[in-house]
Amino acid sequence: MSLQVNLRQRVADALRTAGIDERFAAVAPAAAARFGDFQTNAAMVAAKALKKNPREVAASILTHLNVEDFCERPTVAGAGFINFKVLDTALSDAVNAVRNDRRLGVESVQKAKTILIDFSSPNVAKPMHVGHIRSTILGDSLSRIARHLGHRVITDNHIGDWGTQFGKVIYGWKHLLNRVALEQTPIDELVRLYREVNAMEENDPVLKETVRHELVKLQQGDAENLEIWKQAVSLSWKEFERLYGLLEITFDERLGESFYNDALGPLVDRLLAQGIARESEGAVCIFFPETPALEEKPCLIRKSDGGFLYATTDLATLEYREQRWHPDAVWYVTGAPQQLHFEQVFASARKLGITTDLLHIAFGSILGEDRKMMKTRSGENVELGGLLGEAIEQAMTVVTEKNPDLSAAEQHEVARVIGLGAVKYADLMQHRLTDYLFSWEKMLSFQGNTAPYLQNAYVRIRSIFRKAEAELSEGISYASSPISIAAPAERALALQILKFGEVLHAVLEDQRPNLLCLYLYELADSFHSFYEACPILKAEDRVRSSRLALAEVTAEVLKTGLSLLGIGVPERM
């Protein structure tokens, strides 16, 4: 149990004994070190409810509060804040417990859930682009954190592998295909086929009808068209796998829209038969008169020409997931512009009797230097593969400048870890609903809230141990030495280490990995302050061993925290 949780429980006990509602027992880190380590506004909140003087309520709480074993005498400040300063001995015990815990003080959730997370979702026959970054990286980090906290997580990549574009791709494949190009750069060739046929259609209505017929043949199961489609899907997935491998992201499920195609007609028929949907101007819709926000926004599930829509597929997908995985929750990690779509789908699912917790985890956009949606100079989407390659190249420049003594292989590996980490962290450090400006200079900086800054903090700690092994003739026997907290900088670092578990649980409360990013940045800052204020290798034996152990647990928390964001750490850089 963390210090904060322990203290919250003791405040709750005091409130209950004093005849006050224990729900007021909120405890938070103190706003400033001069106030102590933790504080509670329980007296102020309770006083408002009881219509009493806050400081009198605080005094009453203090008479029932039992914290002498790990806190100095609590004090009342301001309008009624109760402040706590943890004893050095208690702080030492707590950080030693974290050090000896393989989970670094992170407690598993009391009630584990099965959570299915739908993210990334690229389209077949098209390259993944900058628009896939946020869904892919955010979804992966939430999956890692949820698993670490004890939830059962199913990661599902809902591939866009069915739709009108395949009529154009198939026609192009039959009449315009460059086999050599297909072997060398398959996605580029598929995109070329689509674009050329699309341009040809504009002034040729006969061709447009021919292309449409190719799509109909595919939908009806024509053997030749199905084989072309399967090859396009396979070639696309190989490229997706290459990028996911580079990003170290895996999926438990990767069924495309095509998998659910046969279920769409029967689903609509069932919705009509149950009175959940009805015809309207030739189309089939689900209406929500009971929901004011959706009263004028019905969910269209079959067009007047008989075609189905994304909402139809999403409902069929959800029914499959219910039967296959029996999830407690399904999270959809997609852009904010899809908010209405998911409101309609979720409301429709409720009418179908689905009670699973459904959540749209929305996010903002990535902006270019012109503060508009990030595009190439020609107006095209920036391809993800090219962007990740450039990240590694940019990092290589920094690595060769900072450490030319590394071998070429070591430089490339460090550049890979730094470059990809920089891209991921630049995305995750933002509040997910904000738009942000993509800047190589900022994300690769070794100063400020960036991945290189945190990675460098880890590397600095590892270098301390390498230096110790080289300089100390008697070796470094800190493994069994306890951590003893005394100096202010030691206290600040220990308190920051002890926040790790609380922060991870807070991340999942609102699906915000930026809280973990901010925590790691503050942890690195606390370590640098400790490093400057507290000599390590030049300290006398007992203090040196304690500080080495404190540095070691800091490194482990940094490494673990970054790994939960999908970011690696080099041993040298």
CATH code of the domain covering residue 72? 3.30.1360.70
CA distance 86 to 490: 13
Asked if residue 129 belongs to a domain, the reply is: no
147 half-sphere exposure, CB direction, 13 A CA radius? 15
Residues 20 and 46 sit within 8 Å (Cβ to Cβ): yes
What pLDDT does 476 receive?
62
Rounded to whole angstroms, the Cα distance separating 52 from 450 reads: 47
H helix intervals, 274-361: 310-325, 339-351
What DSSP character marks residue 483?
A: P
Residue 315: the pLDDT is: 98
Instruction: Collect the ranges in the chain with pLDDT lower than 70.
Output: 376-379, 472-478
**153 lies in a domain?**
no
Q: Give the structural domain span for 17.
A: 3-86
Phi, psi at 354, each rounded to 5°? -80, 120
| Residue among 477, 471, 443 at smallest CA distance from 546 | 477
Length of the chain, in residues: 573
Instruction: Using the structure block, give the residue that is written with the tokens 């915000």.
Output: 512
Q: Give me the pLDDT at residue 131, please.
A: 86
Q: Where is the domain boundary, 217, 247, 277?
A: 247
At a CB cut-off of 8 Å and minimum separation 6, what does 334 contact? Answer: 118, 119, 121, 135, 342, 360, 361, 362, 363
398 assigned to some structural domain: no
Question: How far apart, in whole angstroms, are the C-alpha atoms of residue 299 and residue 297?
Answer: 7
How many Å apart are CA 412 and CA 406, to the nearest integer? 9
Q: Where are the beta strands (DSSP E) in 73-215?
A: 75-77, 81-84, 114-118, 152-156
177 domain-assigned: yes
Q: Which residues pair with 129 in a beta bridge?
A: 383
Q: What is the DSSP pairing of strand 329-333 with strand 357-361?
A: parallel
- Which position has the token pair 């002498």? 68
CA separation for the pair 240, 164 (Å, rounded)? 21
In a domain, 489, yes or no: no
Contact between 82 and 10 (Cβ < 8 Å): no
Per the structure, the count of domains in the chain is 2
Residue 475: both structure tokens together: 């070796």
The helix/strand/coil state of 291 is coil
Distance CA 282, CA 261 (A): 21
CB contact at 8 A, 122 and 244: no
Q: What is the pLDDT of residues 218-275, one digit of tens each?
A: 988 999 999 999 999 999 999 999 999 999 999 999 999 999 999 999 999 999 999 9
- Residue 391, domain member (yes or no): no
Domain end marker among 216, 247, 278: 247
Nearest Cα neighbor of 566 from 516, 510, 528, 531 is 516
Domain end residue (candidates: 204, 221, 247) = 247
| Calpha distance 547→215 (Å, rounded) | 68
Q: Determine, yes or no, domain membership for 340.
A: no
**Alpha-carbon gap, residue 487 to 566, rounded angstroms:** 34
- Cα–Cα distance list, 333 to 151, 255, 361, 401 (Å): 18, 16, 5, 38
Q: Taking Cα atoms as reference points, which of 248, 236, 561 lies closest to residue 417?
A: 248
Q: How far is residue 472 from each of residues 17, 281, 468, 544, measured CA to CA in Å?
A: 55, 84, 6, 11
Residue 323 lies in a domain: no
